[in-house]
Amino acid sequence: MPLLSILHKRPKPHKGLEQRIRSLTGLRIRQTELYELAFIHPLVHGQKTLSFHSTNQRLEFLGDSVLDLVVAEFLFRKFPFKQEGFLTEMRSKVVNGEFLDQLGRKLGLDEILCETSLRLYEGQGDARTPQHLLKQLKSKGSVADAFEAFVGALYLDRGLNDTRKWLENRILEPQIDWEEMAKSGSNPKSRLLEWAQKHRAKYRMECQEIESGKGPTKSILYKITLWVNGKEVAHAESPNKRKAEQAAAALFFEQRDQNDIV
């Protein structure tokens, strides 16, 4: 069933959402339903088989690709004399989950995510706020995912040109100190490679694909297990394989002192 047909069958979005999105983008909003969908966490509908139609997961997938393209093009023009390795590293610093979480909170997307998801939460007759959902809504991963889903919604609603202009004029130019970013540390996966070379350590990442649902409703979750010197040191899961790898590497550095790895 087409996405727009599904959205049109949903209750109308909250009245204040359109105004908030207009203030955020400076653009006329055509399909408010898309933006509401961008802020519906997967846990809102529990474990329903068709819940992916009513959450932000598909928009997150689309927004991730749009963001990659726009950031790559922006860097290509901004740094005309830099080589591929530099451009790749800079793009990784922008599109990684931690940085997108920071951007999302600056824009107030975390507040919209909480308000929208809690308003639409389908509880089991329990009027109390679900603590497990609150915890997930406040996590870095959820806010970063909402940022990407928002980009996906903007792309579907306004097209690539308006999405590019918004990202460049509202995010990439005013929100990022490129000189400082160029000096900052590399992304977790690159740091892991550098650390392994420096300490003559061997590491590998195992990827397990976990399927849920059947037919057109099937979705895949990537589970990454990181091994260093033959010891399992971290694992992470995400619908995006690259994000799972970065998360596993980041977790390794957070727990490095406890892992007792030379």
Instruction: Give me the active site residues, please.
Output: 64, 148
Q: Which residues pair with 227 in a beta bridge?
A: 204, 232
The sign one gets for the Cα dihedral 4, 10, 15, 20 is: negative
Helix residue ranges per DSSP H, 124-255: 131-137, 140-166, 178-183, 188-199, 241-254
Please choose, from the candidates 223, 89, 240, 83, the residue with its C-alpha nearest in 3D space to the C-alpha of residue 152: 240
CA pair distance 16, 36, nearest whole angstrom: 11
3-state secondary structure of 205: strand
Q: Element (H or E) spanning 39, and its range? A: none
Q: Which residues pair with 210 in a beta bridge?
A: 221
